[in-house]
Amino acid sequence: MMSVIPVSKHSSNKVFLNTLKGNNSDAIPLWLMRQAGRYLPEYREIRKNAGSFLNLCYTPEFATEVTLQPIRRFGFDAAILFSDILVVPDALGCKVSFTEGEGPRLETITDESALSHLSLDNFLKHLSPVFQTVQNLAQELPKQTALIGFAGSPWTVATYMVEGKTSKQFEKIRHLSYASPDFFHKLIRLLVDATSLYLKEQIKHGAEVVQLFDSWSGVLPEIPFKQWVIEPTKHIVANIKAAYPDVPIIGFPKGAGINLLKYINETGVDAVGIDYTLPLEWVRDSVQTHLPVQGNLDPVLLAADKTAMKQQVEKILATFGNKPFIFNLGHGILPHTPIEHVELLVETVRNWKR
Amino acid sequence: MMSVIPVSKHSSNKVFLNTLKGNNSDAIPLWLMRQAGRYLPEYREIRKNAGSFLNLCYTPEFATEVTLQPIRRFGFDAAILFSDILVVPDALGCKVSFTEGEGPRLETITDESALSHLSLDNFLKHLSPVFQTVQNLAQELPKQTALIGFAGSPWTVATYMVEGKTSKQFEKIRHLSYASPDFFHKLIRLLVDATSLYLKEQIKHGAEVVQLFDSWSGVLPEIPFKQWVIEPTKHIVANIKAAYPDVPIIGFPKGAGINLLKYINETGVDAVGIDYTLPLEWVRDSVQTHLPVQGNLDPVLLAADKTAMKQQVEKILATFGNKPFIFNLGHGILPHTPIEHVELLVETVRNWKR
């Protein structure tokens, strides 16, 4: 059982928050996307007993416990709420299920009639177990550990709602967005409203930072990228800032490539996640000059080769370490990652001196 | 039956070749990736009678006919040999099959033992029907139409050989390339040799230009991009240039993003294909300043919306038209594309004046 430590919010003692505010700390803050996950034996144990994956997300005792596991084991500087980006469509009334090894399956929303069955009426109530988890975490986390809330971005969440599952080429949603822009705009607008409400409620319950995951932003040309990634993100950021001006927002438009430059200039995010394909020096010279960056070790390298991984960690630290920087992966940690590789990663980041 | 017109090779009357040599012509040359394909009723007719997909590729009468179909219908400035990038592993002895609606399936090559069964011994003989097709086309094409040969790049072909099929995240091959770099280097080296031989033989039989398709280059971080995309491409370009210094080579590293800049500086390709995600002005100012570019209409937009498509075609022409530029899509044309949309695309490009 964890001891209950009261959290002083926005404490400048938290190196993660300090860095997000654009300050250099003595140490580089560190956390890993999907750090509460299947690579941890203690996670697999809970997962086994939790029933369905959604049940794990919706049961505060389980979700709190798995969020805390990687903090206990590795002492990361931030904990991220354990949940899934698809609880948002689920709470809107779009049926979601997860089948082992198959990924998510959703009722598809591709016309006005299907859209008309979705609603915000029961939205926050449906998600109340998630807010309970956030509240538990705010109480149970060590005082130096920041608490991150999150949501999927409207475009990425919409890919699942339109395609019905994880896609390869995203042709169905791209076709729909070109052929029925009015309908698609309504769907995105609903997701902007829902996501804004969801994140504000997480902050109200104790999240100190929020991250927007736009995992599939990289499949869009520049005009749709502006319409379906930048504009919705900008609205969500504005909605959150209107209520909570001091809560930092991290955007993670995976695969955005060159379109990342417009994203950081136009959305209003406070920091940006860097995926593993982006060249380090380009990011340092074109992105980190504008705001703190977070990234970008290839999770496949972390799983595959300790020696080359350590070298790359050191290269990343040497490139970004002199300005506000948060060490992370460039995508979520993989289930088959050996624990000892993560231990070496943590040790390497902790031993690094500016 | 087509009339047989003798081809004068490297004729400067061919606007496509002229543009690839860095000259402006009165008109913008035009062809579409996968222009011989399922969106054409005359293609579907041949496909029905050809047996398996590989049989279509390996029967010169069929392959010649489907290559010519879009030239007759639309008068494109270049014909591209009808074949598939997976004939290379097939000819090396790695079993390939295509199942309707499932995509390709390959025997996987993930260790030295599997690799040792592959060989160049029977390689060119196995591919002789392809060279016969090239020879037929060189004789049958209209005199103003250029003939493009092609191959997949080693990295992209290797993804199929290691994953056994089209992948989503390419985690298996990325893991293998990190964990067993010596083995992986041998596989890539074999593909460099095979691809060089294959393209030189296509040129010998009448191909006037060759294009290297690196469809999955975008999943690589910068160091592996250098190792597995830039270096192999550089070797293939050098091998071809040693034998045929005047034959232009187009590289198409789809999804390369910012890594495209190193690709154009280091590989030696004469022109570069631009995928649909790249912002137009960035390409104009950072890429077209170095070499002719080819692209980049989103094939989903072509299929989805005539009006928005025409606007985007005009925007692409206005952005790139004042320097050497080849109009194309940013990826292959989709099977459900309406013919009348292609007709409007052709008309718009043909009516454009510099």
**Catalytic residue ranges of A:** 34, 38, 47, 84, 160
d(CA A277, CA B142): 43
* Residue in chain A lying closest to B303 (CA): A175
Nearest-Cα residue of chain B relative to residue A181: B305
Closest residue on chain A to B334 (Cα) = A171
Check CB contact of B311 with chain A, cutoff 8 Å: no
The first and second tokens of residue A153, run together, are: 């971005």
Which helix (H) or strand (E) segment is B104 a member of?
Answer: strand B103-106
What is the spatial distance between Cα B242 and Cα A347, in angstroms, rounded to a whole number? 50
3-state secondary structure (DSSP) of residue B2:
coil
Which candidate in B258, B276, B287 is best for mutational testing of the A interface (most A CBs within 10 A)? B258
pLDDT for position B246: 97
The predicted-structure confidence for A28-70, as pLDDT tens digits, reads as follows 999 999 999 999 999 999 999 999 999 999 999 999 999 999 9
Q: What is the pLDDT of residue A354?
A: 80
Q: What are phi and psi of B213, to 5 degrees?
A: -90, 115
CA angle B334, B339, B345 (to 5 degrees): 85
Question: Measured between alpha carbons, how far is B326 from B209 in angstroms, rounded to an integer?
Answer: 13
pLDDT tens per residue, chain B (354 residues)? 344 444 444 445 899 999 999 999 889 999 999 999 999 999 999 999 999 999 999 999 999 999 999 999 999 999 999 999 999 999 999 999 998 778 999 999 999 999 999 999 999 999 999 999 999 999 999 999 999 999 999 999 999 999 999 998 899 999 999 999 999 999 999 999 999 999 999 999 999 999 999 999 999 999 999 999 999 999 999 999 999 999 999 999 999 999 999 999 999 999 999 999 999 999 999 999 999 999 999 999 999 999 999 999 999 999 999 999 999 999 999 999 999 999 999 999 999 988
- Is there a contact between B178 and A220 if contact means CB atoms under 8 Å apart? no
**Averaged pLDDT, A210-230:** 98
ipTM of the shown complex:
0.93
Smallest CA–CA separation between B281 and chain A, in Å? Answer: 10
- Written as six digits, the tokens of A195 are 């996501």
Cβ separation of A175 and B277 shorter than 8 Å?
A: no
Q: B65 CB near a chain A CB, below 8 Å? A: no
In total, the C-beta contacts within 8 angstroms joining chain A to chain B are: 83
Residue A18 to residue A24: CA distance in whole angstroms: 7
How many C-beta atoms surround the C-beta of residue A55 within 10 A? 13
Task: Supply the pLDDT for residue A100.
Answer: 79
Q: Are A241 and A184 in contact (CB under 8 A)?
A: no
Determine whether the interchain pair B279/A174 forms a contact, defined as Cβ–Cβ distance below 8 Å. no
CA-based nearest distance B26→chain A, Å = 29
* Nearest chain B alpha carbon to A170: B300
Count Cβ atoms within 10 A of the Cβ of residue B88 and give its class: 0-12 exposed, 13-18 middle, 19 or more buried.
buried
Decide if A301 touches B, using CB distance below 8 A.
Answer: yes
What percent of the residues of chain B are helix, what percent strand, and what percent coil, each to the nearest 5?
50, 10, 35
Give me the pLDDT at residue A12, please.
Answer: 57
Q: How far is A83 from chain B (nearest CA, A)?
A: 22
Residue of B nearest to A296 (CA): B221
Model pLDDT, residue B12: 58
Chain A within 8 Å of B221 (Cβ-Cβ)?
yes
- The confidence score (pLDDT) of residue B151 equals 98
Hey, is the C-beta of A304 within 8 angstroms of any chain B C-beta? yes
State residue B7's pLDDT score.
42
What is the three-class DSSP state of B268?
coil
**What percentage of chain A carries pLDDT values higher than 90?**
93
Using the beta-carbon criterion (under 8 Å), do A304 and B178 form an inter-chain contact?
A: yes
| Least Cα separation, residue B337 to chain A (angstroms) | 11
Using a CB-CB cut-off of 8 Å, the residues of chain B touching A278 are 222, 257-258
Is B124's Cβ below 8 Å from some Cβ in A?
Answer: no
The predicted pLDDT at position A102 comes to 83
Q: Is A178 on the interface with B (CB under 8 A)?
A: yes
**What pLDDT was estimated at residue B231?**
98
Query: Which residue of A221, A259, A301 is in closest CB contact with B298?
Result: A221
Q: Does A298 touch chain B (CB under 8 A)?
A: yes
Interchain CB contact of A332 with B (< 8 Å): no
Question: Contacts of residue A282 in chain B, CB cutoff 8 Å?
Answer: 258
* Contact between chains at B178 and A301 (C-beta distance less than 8 A): yes
Res A4 pLDDT > 80: no
In three-state secondary structure terms, B148 is strand
Contact A147, A8 (CB under 8 A): no
- Picking from B218, B222, B257, the nearest residue to A258 by CB comes out as B257
Cα–Cα distance between A272 and A290 in angstroms, integer? 10
- The pLDDT > 90 percentage for chain B reads 93
Give A157-183 pLDDT, tens digit per residue: 999 999 999 998 899 999 999 999 999
List residues of B with catalytic annotation. 34, 38, 47, 84, 160
Residue A259: closest CA among chain B residues belongs to which residue?
B279
AA identity, residue B188: I
Interface test with A, best of B172, B178, B266, B302 (most A CBs within 10 A): B178
A183 vs B: CB within 8 A:
no
What is the DSSP pairing of strand B146-152 with strand B271-274?
unpaired
Query: What confidence tens digit (pLDDT) does each residue in B281-330 have?
Result: 999 999 999 999 999 999 999 999 999 999 999 999 999 999 999 999 99
Do the strands A103-106 and A96-99 form a parallel or antiparallel pair, or are they unpaired? Answer: antiparallel
